[in-house]
Structure formats: C-alpha cells, structure tokens
Amino acid sequence: MRLAGQYSREMSVFENKVVVITGAGSGIGRALAVQFAEAGARLALSDINELALAETVKQLPSGTDARTYIVNVADRSDVFSHADAVQRDFGTAHYVINNAGATVVGTVANTDIEEYEWQLNINLYGVLYGTKAFLPMLLQQREGCIVNISSIFGLLSYPCQSAYNMSKFAVRGLTECLWQELKGTGVRAVCVHPGGIRTNI
C-alpha cells in the first residue's frame, strides 16, 4: 500500500504533522507507519503487541520522530488515555488512522455471541473510541483528518464473515455520517475499503 501521489520531503503535506496509527504492529498499520515516516510525519504508533510494535519501529527511517504506545482499542479508557498521552507528548494530532482490527470466521449458527462481542469491540467500538477520543483536539484546531479503515466487506457481505461484515458496514456508516457533520469545520473524515491485503488477518 502506497500513499497516493508520493511527495518529496520538501513538498510533503505530512511534514511535521502528527499521525496517530492504531494496529501499527503489522499489516496495513506497519506499512503506513513506514510511508508516513518517509513523508516526514511525526508518529504516534499503537498496538496491543509490544514486540510487533518494536519491529515496526526498526523499519522506520533513521531519525523518525516516533513514539509507541501499548493500547487495547477495545478498552474505552485505554483509548481515551492514549489520546491524552499523544497530546502530552506531541501537543496535538493531525491525522488519526483507526486501523486496528481482527476477524472471526464462522457461520452465524456456529459463532458464539461472545465471539461477536469480542470482534465488534475491536473493529467497531475501537474505531468509535478512537474517533471520539481525538476529535475534540482536531475540532479545536480546525484542522485534521480521521481515517477509518473499513474493508471491501464493508460494501458487500461474504459468508462466514458475519461479525466482520457487521463491524465494517458499521464503520462505513459511522464515517459517512461523520464526514457530513464535519463540513465547514476544517476537519475531514475518510473511510477506506481495502480489498485483499497480505496481513496477519
């Protein structure tokens, strides 16, 4: 995955901007961390896996201004504390990428309610918590962008992916509502629907 329209460091719109990425320990989150670092951004990287997060940091260009945070996006207090920590460490945030995710594979008949709850807490509530935790500082500065990672499965349903489909359709609905509400504020909301990506999922 590459950022659209690669800029030189001199022209980069991300130069010195604070980019928050959840799920930065692997997959899309790791790839974005490397590319934003190449574009001169300052990075607030979080994941539930400390070792995976450390591996991401090793792949960043020398001199990257990056801090790491162990965050469980399914825990509301954890995410709001994370936003406070980012504001303390960086002063603000400019781009918030709610990327952390997981999946449960199984038919509706054979998927337990607890498995649905576990998955929705990460993929749906994790996105909502990240949005709510960082949105006030973006609105206050009248600048910023919330990027919510949905999926092609947020556009169409697929058998044995009901929990994942539910979460990604909901992320789409949340983001499309948000981008309309944010008109004129200086803050944007973007929903991304990746197709087949080679990740841990």
- Report the distance separating Cα 122 and Cα 72, nearest Å: 8
- Report the distance separating Cα 95 and Cα 74, nearest Å: 20
- Report the distance separating Cα 97 and Cα 139, nearest Å: 16
Contact (Cβ atoms closer than 8 angstroms) between residue 191 and residue 176: yes
* 164 has catalytic annotation: yes
Burial of 80 (0-12, 13-18, 19+ CB in 10 A): middle
- Active-site residue, from 69, 125, 129, 164: 164
Which among 62, 82, 69, 76 has a CA at the least distance from the CA of 29? 69
Residue at token pair 């499965």 = 153
Q: Return the amino acid letter for 55.
A: E
Kindly list the catalytic residues.
Answer: 164
